[in-house]
Amino acid sequence: MSSAAIDHQIMWNRLIAVVEEQATTLIRTAFSTSVREAGDLSAGLFDRQGRMIAQAVTGTPGHVNAMAESVTHFAAAIGPQNTFEGDVFITNDPWLGTGHLHDITVVTPVFRKGLHIGYFACTAHVVDIGGRGFGPDAGEVYEEGLLIPITKFAERGQVQPFLIEVVRANVRTPDQTVGDMYSLAACNEAGDRRLQAMMDEFGIDDLQALSDFVIETSRAATRAAIAKVPPGEYRNTMQVDGYDAPVHMEVTLTVEGESLTADFEGTSEMSRFGVNCPEVYTRAYACYALKCAIAAEVPNNTGSLEPFRITAPEGCILAARRPAPVSVRHVMGHLVPDVVLGALHKALPGVVPAEGASALWNIQISARASDPSSGLPGAEVLMFNSGGTGARPRHDGLSATAFPSGVSTMSVEATEHVGPITVWRKDLREGSGGAGEMRGGLGQTIEIEARDGYDFFINAMFDRVDNPARGRDGGGAGAAGGVALADGTKLASKGRQFVRNGQRLRLSLPGGGGYGDPKRRDRDAVARDLIAGFITPEQAKQDYGYEG
């Protein structure tokens, strides 16, 4: 290592701090709860060619990797001759951004001494974008809200008033949505200030050499990690619930030396409903899964993402064609890592987890007065909830924990202040973890009832109700999810449904799959699980052969 390399490393560290500061600014200023509370955002720095140099660790994988691709679309659409100091670009095109209209991506070109040297980019989920609202029921993307093509939010420092007026006129929350657009622009500005200070300190006027160093170092490390995966073709399939018909996912991994390809050929056609994924979102989650298993320690940048080549045939549910509805693309997207990791398991046994609940169970509730003439105001409530993750080769799965998504849940007490509902139960679902030498993570049980004077609608978007998480290497499946009323009446797992006052909605979130033969589970661990109530006495006996 040379001392120039030390300088590059110090600047690399600084760049990561710069993009973290960029992300922090966004978290602190964005309006949307999913950004502030659940970290549904992404922020990064790109060079002049649109290659990502650094990205904030904060953020959820679907954004993280999708945004990496988007800057090249901006560069191509606007062109260097039309890129000026003070410009701010914007889009929420699901196919050019991060997969649905609710995510707005803002890109700000960076200038130094009058020369264009790179871009800052960031993405965040906004509260509302018009259309039908957040839910899977649209038939085309046009119904899902306003689409802003790649355009300039500001030119030479002047915000385009017409764009603001169009957005304001088309969304339910004009102040918040437009406010978030400004937040996104401000966070890029914050990044720019810090970057300029760093360049002053190190006496450089160009990012090229640094960008090459970061990207080459990361690419080499990623390739070296891929080269350790035994060459070959590894195929895996998985069936999940989908909206109205089961979805077949299929992937073939091809490992040849330092290159790895994932191809989703064979996957089901698009759905008529908004569970479709644009390919960019599929790539994001597939790449995330591969990276976790193969090269977790390499920071995210073009160099560490490029060696993973991911394709899906256009028109399948994982590479939806315009104008497919894509609003809740996260459900399929969150399940992508399971099918990819299952294929990788054939190449690298003993590394990846069993399948998990994976898709978040987002509860979107609209509470309405039972008697419309009562004057009681309605309320919208959104909660993020997670089932169990798959067991790992050497550790149990995590109970009620998000994977692959990076979001957090909200406090029940805070939620009950938002809308007239009572959450009677939110606790671990006993016995729901797949049996195994390593046990799958437990799902959870949630019971919700409207307060006096109210009924509610639920926008169901739940998966793994018909297709539970499978175990690995002899491990059992996790418990399937359940959507019902407390009296046992079954509800559909997708779509808008009505829950009357006095009825109690009961959601049983899926458990993660087990890993390895449960009969080989450490007897003390079985005894502890039994005492804690993580497994039932019947399971201890039947699945684990525990006589205690």
Partner 1 sequence: MGQNDIRVGVDIGGTFTDVALLHPGGLTTGKVLTEYSQPEQAIIDAIVKAAGDAGVGLGEIGQVIHGTTLVTNALIERRGAKTALITTEGFRDVIEMRSENRFEQYDLNLTLPVPLVPREHRFTLSERMAPEGEVLLPLDPGEVEAMVERIRDGGFEAVAIGLIHAYANDAHEVAMGAALRTAMPGLSVSLSSVISPQMRELPRFNTVIANAYVQPRVADYLGRLVARLGDIGVTAPVFMLHSGGGLISVETAAQQPVRLLESGPAGGAIFAADLARAHGLDKVLSFDMGGTTAKICLIEEGAPKTANTFEVARTYRFKKGSGMTVSTPVVEMVEIGAGGGSIASIDSLGRLQVGPRSAGSEPGPASYGRGGEDPTVTDANLLLGRLDPENFAGGSIPLLPDRAEAVAARLELSPHDAAFGITELVDENMANAARVHTVENGRDIEHFTMIAFGGGAPLHACRLCEKLGIRAALVPPGAGVGSAIGFLKAPFSFEASRGLFQRLDAFDAGAVNEALEALEAEARAFVEEGAEGAETAVRLTAQMRYSGQGWEIPVLLERKRFGADDVAMILAAFETAYRTLFGRIIEGLPVEITNWVLSVSTVLPKVKPVAHQSGGSPAPVIRTRRFYDAALRAHVDASEVDRASMTVGMTVEGPAIIVESETSTIVTTAYRAIAQSDGALLLLAKETRE
Is 451:407 a contact under the CB 8 Å cutoff? Answer: no
- Specify the pairing of strand 308-311 against strand 259-263: parallel
Q: Closest by alpha carbon to 47, among 170, 236, 211?
A: 211
Its sign, for the CA torsion 288, 262, 124, 55, is: positive
* Residues 125-144 interacting with partner 1 (rule: CB under 8 A): 127
The residues with which 427 forms a beta bridge, in sequence order, are 445
Nearer to partner 1, 92 or 385 (CB): 385
Cα–Cα distances in Å, from 289 out to 170, 227, 488? 36, 17, 37
For residue 415, the minimal CB distance to partner 1 (Å) is: 9
Given 171, 184, 428, 526, the residue binding partner 1 (CB under 8 A): 428
Return all residues near 323 (Cβ < 8 A) that are at least 6 apart. Answer: 140, 141, 142
Nearer to partner 1, 13 or 49 (CB): 13
For residue 234, the minimal CB distance to partner 1 (Å) is: 18
* Residues 40-99 interacting with partner 1 (rule: CB under 8 A): 57, 61
Is 163:151 a contact under the CB 8 Å cutoff? Answer: yes
Nearer to partner 1, 263 or 437 (CB): 437
Question: Does the protein bind partner 1 through residue 444 (CB under 8 A)?
Answer: yes
Q: Exposed, middle or buried: residue 490 (CB in 10 Å: 0-12, 13-18, 19+)? A: exposed
Question: Does the protein bind partner 1 through residue 115 (CB under 8 A)?
Answer: no
* Residues 473-492 interacting with partner 1 (rule: CB under 8 A): none
Provide the CA 415 distance to its chain's centre, in angstroms.
22
* 47 three-class SS: strand
Given 385, 432, 467, 539, the residue binding partner 1 (CB under 8 A): 385
* Residues 228-287 interacting with partner 1 (rule: CB under 8 A): none
The residues with which 42 forms a beta bridge, in sequence order, are 123
* Residues 202-221 interacting with partner 1 (rule: CB under 8 A): 217-218, 221
Nearer to partner 1, 108 or 399 (CB): 399
Given 362, 401, 432, 508, the residue binding partner 1 (CB under 8 A): 401
Given 113, 162, 297, 373, the residue binding partner 1 (CB under 8 A): 297
Given 63, 73, 102, 194, the residue binding partner 1 (CB under 8 A): 194
Say how far apart CA 172 and CA 140 lie, in whole Å: 20
Question: Does the protein bind partner 1 through residue 165 (CB under 8 A)?
Answer: no
For residue 21, the minimal CB distance to partner 1 (Å) is: 5
Q: The tokens of 239 are what? A: 């069936």
Question: Does the protein bind partner 1 through residue 394 (CB under 8 A)?
Answer: yes
Say how far apart CA 181 and CA 91 lie, in whole Å: 10
For residue 163, the minimal CB distance to partner 1 (Å) is: 19
- Tell me the site size for partner 1, rule CB under 8 A: 84
Question: Does the protein bind partner 1 through residue 3 (CB under 8 A)?
Answer: yes
* Residues 334-363 interacting with partner 1 (rule: CB under 8 A): 351-353
Say how far apart CA 254 and CA 154 lie, in whole Å: 44
Is the omega angle on the peptide bond into residue 80 within 30 degrees of 0, that is, cis?
no
* Residues 499-528 interacting with partner 1 (rule: CB under 8 A): none
For residue 342, the minimal CB distance to partner 1 (Å) is: 14
Q: Closest by alpha carbon to 471, among 512, 443, 526?
A: 512
Phi–psi pair at 487, nearest 5 degrees:
-80, 0
Given 533, 537, 542, 548, the residue binding partner 1 (CB under 8 A): 533
Span near partner 1 by CB under 8 A; candidates 25-33, 89-97, 243-251, 517-525: 25-33
For residue 150, the minimal CB distance to partner 1 (Å) is: 26
